[in-house]
């Protein structure tokens, strides 16, 4: 049952870095799967796990420097030759600077390149030029593309494993550093394109992706103490969207709030709104995330609160709508 695999969010129990764990998984997989090629853009400093990959598998490693479009072009060519390329670079530059190559070299050719954009959302702390706030919108609008934002580091490992046999191009978004673990065990079913009910509830539904799942669970547990039952959906795959789970939530709870570390225009909230509206199911609805602004400079947790999509902000919005 989903309720049994979530932490008690009254206190922070554990954090982990998806950037670290996906590299450990790639190091493990590349030992036996020689088709895996790791390509990075200015991202293999001495002593890092990327540097370890370079030393252990030099024939499966390519560093392109600060040239994200080149990384995508090389990866697409390798994929056309039967390889399984994983491209890793800063998300703000992959999702904007390399969009042409992702669109034309990757998606148009429908090749199995896995692009991993780090520093997702506001997690870089580097200001508007280094925030990744439009990747959901861009990637989900490109034909053939799959767009995924794991809820935590352990789920990112599950995604990397699942991606090896998943068809077509894929964009994976992770944070810059450590984030709270959502699941207290990895003993749960994970499928690309299938949402996870992280917590059951009947009065309202929170649909989150990435850190939005954790913030949603914080809010749900607080509201539970006030007698408000809130369902939390881990919508880790933004495209293809699990419309069946969304329609069930709209029908059974009648209220949906989406939570995303992304511009609310074109992102997870827009995707969910499209699905619910087209279903014809009457439902109260609200998008929480970054408004249509260049976000302020600051630590991500402070900015989540500033823009109203931390646990407290979500609680306040649900109580207002109820």
Residue 1: what pLDDT?
44
Q: Which residues of the chain have pLDDT under 50?
A: 1, 3-4
On whether the CB atoms of residues 209 and 149 are closer than 8 A, the answer is: yes
Q: What is the 3-state secondary structure (H, E, C) of the chain?
A: CHHHHECCCCCCCCEEEHHHHHHHHHHHHHHHCCCEEEEECCCCCCCCHHHHHHHHCHHHEEECCCCHHHHHHHHHHHHHCCCEEEEEEEHHHHCCCCHHHHHHHHHCCCCCCEEEEECCECCCCCCHHHCECCHHHHHHCCCCCEEECCCCHHHHHHHHHHHCCCCCCEEEECCCCEEECCECCCCCCCECCECEEEECCCCEEEEECCHHHHHHHHHHHHHHCCCCCEEEEECCEEECCCHHHHHHHHHHHCEEEEEEEEECCCCHHHHHHHHHHHHCCCCEEEEEEECCCCCCCCCHHHHHHHCCCCHHHHHHHHHHHC
Residue 7: what pLDDT?
62
267, 161: one domain: no
In a domain, 7, yes or no: no
In a domain, 291, yes or no: yes
Give the pLDDT confidence of 3-53 residue by residue, as tens digits. Answer: 445 666 655 568 999 999 999 999 999 999 999 999 999 878 888 999 999
Residue 153: what pLDDT?
97
Query: What percent of the chain lies above the pLDDT cut of 70?
Result: 96
248, 212: one domain: yes
Residue 220: what pLDDT?
97
Query: Distance (Å, rounded) from C-alpha 273 to C-alpha 258?
Result: 9
Range of the domain at 296: 193-321
Residue 45: what pLDDT?
86
98, 230: one domain: no
Cis before 229 (ω within 30): no
CATH code where residue 127 lies: 3.40.50.970
Query: Distance (Å, rounded) from C-alpha 1 to C-alpha 4?
Result: 6
In a domain, 87, yes or no: yes
150, 228: one domain: no
Query: Distance (Å, rounded) from C-alpha 6 to C-alpha 315?
Result: 19
175, 52: one domain: yes
Pick the closest to residue 154 from 16, 12, 9 (CA basis): 16
In what order do the strands lie in the sheet containing 284-290? Answer: 196-199, 230-234, 204-208, 255-263, 284-290
Give the pLDDT confidence of 69-90 residue by residue, as tens digits. Answer: 999 999 999 999 999 999 999 9
In a domain, 1, yes or no: no
Domain tally for the chain? 2
Residue 5: what pLDDT?
56
147, 212: one domain: no
Backbone angles phi, psi at 146, to 5 degrees: -110, 135
CA-to-CA separations, 107 to 76, 104, 235, 307, in angstroms, rounded: 9, 6, 22, 33
Q: Which of 124, 159, 180 is the last residue of a domain?
A: 180
Residue 42: what pLDDT?
80
Q: What is the 3-state secondary structure (H, E, C) of 195-264?
A: CEEEECCCCEEEEECCHHHHHHHHHHHHHHCCCCCEEEEECCEEECCCHHHHHHHHHHHCEEEEEEEEEC
């Amino acid at each position: 049952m989903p309720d049994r695999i979530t932490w008690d969010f009254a206190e922070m129990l554990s954090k982990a870095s998806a950037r670290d764990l996906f590299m450990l998984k790639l190091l493990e997989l590349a030992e036996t799967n020689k088709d895996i090629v790791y390509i990075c853009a200015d991202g293999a400093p001495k002593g890092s796990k990327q540097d370890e990959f370079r030393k252990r598998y030099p024939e499966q490693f390519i560093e392109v420097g600060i040239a994200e479009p080149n990384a995508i072009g090389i990866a697409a060519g390798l994929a056309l030759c039967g390889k399984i390329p994983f491209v890793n670079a800063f998300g703000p530059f992959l999702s904007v600077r390399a969009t042409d190559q992702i669109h034309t070299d990757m998606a148009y050719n429908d090749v199995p390149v896995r692009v991993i954009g780090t520093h997702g959302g506001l997690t870089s702390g580097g200001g508007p030029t280094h925030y990744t706030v439009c990747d959901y919108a861009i990637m989900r609008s490109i034909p053939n593309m799959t767009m995924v934002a794991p809820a935590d580091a352990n789920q990112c490992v599950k995604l990397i494993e699942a991606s090896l046999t998943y068809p077509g191009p894929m964009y994976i978004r992770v944070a810059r550093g450590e984030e709270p673990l959502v699941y207290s065990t990895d003993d749960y079913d994970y499928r690309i394109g299938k949402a996870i009910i992280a917590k059951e509830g009947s009065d309202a539904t929170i649909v989150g992706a990435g850190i939005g799942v954790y913030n949603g669970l914080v809010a749900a547990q607080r509201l539970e103490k006030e007698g408000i039952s809130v369902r939390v959906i881990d919508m880790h795959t933004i495209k293809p969207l699990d419309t069946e789970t969304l329609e069930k939530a709209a029908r059974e709870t009648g209220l949906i709030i989406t939570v995303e570390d992304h511009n609310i225009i074109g992102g997870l909230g827009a995707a969910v709104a499209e699905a619910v509206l087209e279903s014809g199911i009457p439902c109260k609805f609200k998008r929480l995330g970054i408004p249509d602004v260049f976000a302020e400079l600051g630590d991500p947790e402070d900015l989540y609160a500033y823009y109203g999509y931390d646990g407290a902000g979500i609680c306040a919005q649900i109580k207002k709508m109820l």
